[in-house]
Chains A and B, each alone.
Chain A
Amino acid sequence: MAVETAPAPVVEKKKEPLFSKKNIRTLRDPLDDNNPITVQVLGICSALAVTVQVKPALIMALGVIFVTAFSNLIISLLRHTIPTRVRIIVQLIVIATLVTIVDQVLRAYMFDVSKKLSVFVGLIITNCIVMGRLEAFALANKPWPSFLDGVGNGVGYGIILVVVAVFRELFGSGTLMGYQVVPQWAYDMGYVNNGLMMLPPAALFIIGVYIWIQRSINKKLVNVS
């Protein structure tokens, strides 16, 4: 399951011909230099509440990758036929349809996770990443690069989600993906799970610190916003 960080480079190497240099940049930029959450400040909304455990976070990330990729593809295919004045409504309908598909699939095959994610699956619709990428990229680019841009942004979002979830689950309940990681003898010696990690503010602290570290390493991001 833990393929979240791996797919981008692997895929690139396998199908080199389709991936010109520019396309690879489109795919890779959102992972760090142009990360949707920490740099573009998009899509923080629906994400953070699902990061108490790794498993729902992973599934949420997959759902968002699916929606961003295909909504980018569809809008890019339609970009010459959509009148500018009503484009927001058209975009919302496309996104809402894709999200409905995700939601129904989750309900059918992973009911317990779907219950845990509750309203947050539906909130992918208003996740600013999807709208933001449609407005900023898909409306002005060909379908294939748009698709890659969607995948890249979805993965960039997923990375943050999984990083936050790993920290919160490991320190909050001593497990990863539901398996006990912190051994029993540690508890016997007096180790206690950090209750704060289970509460909403912890996600904000982790992202705040993540941004701090990222901007300390990558100086050109300082004072972006």
Chain B
Amino acid sequence: MEHLLNLLIKAIFVENVVFAFFLGMCSFLAVSKKIKTAFGLGLAVIFVMILTTPLNYLILTYLLKDGALAWIHPSLANVDLTFLAFILFISTIAGAVQIVEMAVEKFTPALYNSLGIFLPLITVNCSILGTSLFMQEREYNFVETAVFSLGAGIGFFLAIVLLAAIRERLRYANIPAPLQGLGIAMIITGLMGMAFLSFSGIQL
């Protein structure tokens, strides 16, 4: 139990997907102009993250890994399909996003309208696929995978809402013209990353 809590804290703060690995930077920079949209996107990312990563874990363990197909027929015991991981992972994510989109549209049209284009764009948010790939590389078990994906999602949510808040303030700042927009956003992300580095001092 303590181990899982550590994993969660680590995924949110110490190894924040945005500040430590630069994952999901595209939408992070593009959608962080207003707190409200950032909030919506962050929530959607958390949701897709905790849906797809455990799903990908199951696909990896029961279909792709070396010998994973043995449950179908013993003769398949030495089939290793791990090289198909990228294609299956991204298909799962694209499919899950599509389902989430349809569900949200059907049951809560208000949320659907406020999220707009950002919902389908989650498919190509690097942080989602990145979390699945980290799960594969670090060989988590199922519970760890679920906790890790929740942590990564919350980490992204936290990062994008924080940056949006800072950028709303920046509108009143006097920044040199060539640095406005993307340039200053990069540097602020760097500074926030440095702040998040202080969490690595936590003993877990």
Contacts and interface: CB of A to CB of B under 8 A. Distances in A.
Interface of A: 38, 41-49, 88-89, 92-93, 96-97, 99-100, 103-104, 118-119, 122-123, 125-128, 131, 199-205, 207-209, 211-216, 221-225
Contacts of A201: 19, 189-191, 193-194, 197
B23 A123 contact: yes
Contact of A45 (B126, B134, B177): B126
B29 interface: yes
A128 B177 contact: no
| Residue with the greatest number of chain A CB neighbours at <10 A, chosen from B91, B180, B183 | B183
**Interface size for chain B: under 10, 10 to 19, 20 to 34, or 35 or more residues?**
35 or more
Contact of A96 (B86, B128, B183, B189): B86
B17 to A, nearest CB: 10
B103 to A, nearest CB: 18
25 contacts: A38-B182, A41-B30, A43-B26, A44-B29, A45-B26, A47-B22, A88-B94, A88-B120, A88-B123, A89-B91, A96-B87, A97-B87, A104-B83, A126-B128, A128-B26, A131-B124, A201-B190, A201-B191, A204-B186, A204-B190, A204-B193, A212-B176, A212-B179, A222-B177, A223-B177
Given A89-B94, A103-B86, A211 B183 contact: yes
B182 A126 contact: no
Contacts of B94: 88-89, 92
A201 B186 CA distance: 9
A154 B13 CA distance: 33
Contacts of A199: 193-194, 197
Instruction: Give the 9 A-B CB pairs with smallest separation, nearest first.
Output: A204-B190, A215-B178, A208-B186, A45-B126, A119-B133, A208-B187, A201-B193, A201-B190, A44-B25
Main secondary structure of the interface of B (DSSP, over half): helix
A126 to B, nearest CB: 4
A213 B21 CA distance: 25
Given A125-B90, A212-B179, 14 more contacts: A41-B29, A45-B26, A93-B87, A118-B137, A122-B89, A125-B86, A126-B130, A199-B193, A200-B20, A201-B197, A204-B193, A222-B178, A222-B180, A225-B182
B90 A92 contact: yes
A221 B179 CA distance: 11
A118 B23 CA distance: 13
A197 B142 CA distance: 36
B190 A208 contact: yes
Contacts of A223: 177, 180-181
A42 B193 CA distance: 20
Contact of A48 (B22, B83, B120, B178): B22
Interface in B136-184: 137, 176-184
B14 interface: no
Contacts of B183: 208-209, 211-212, 215
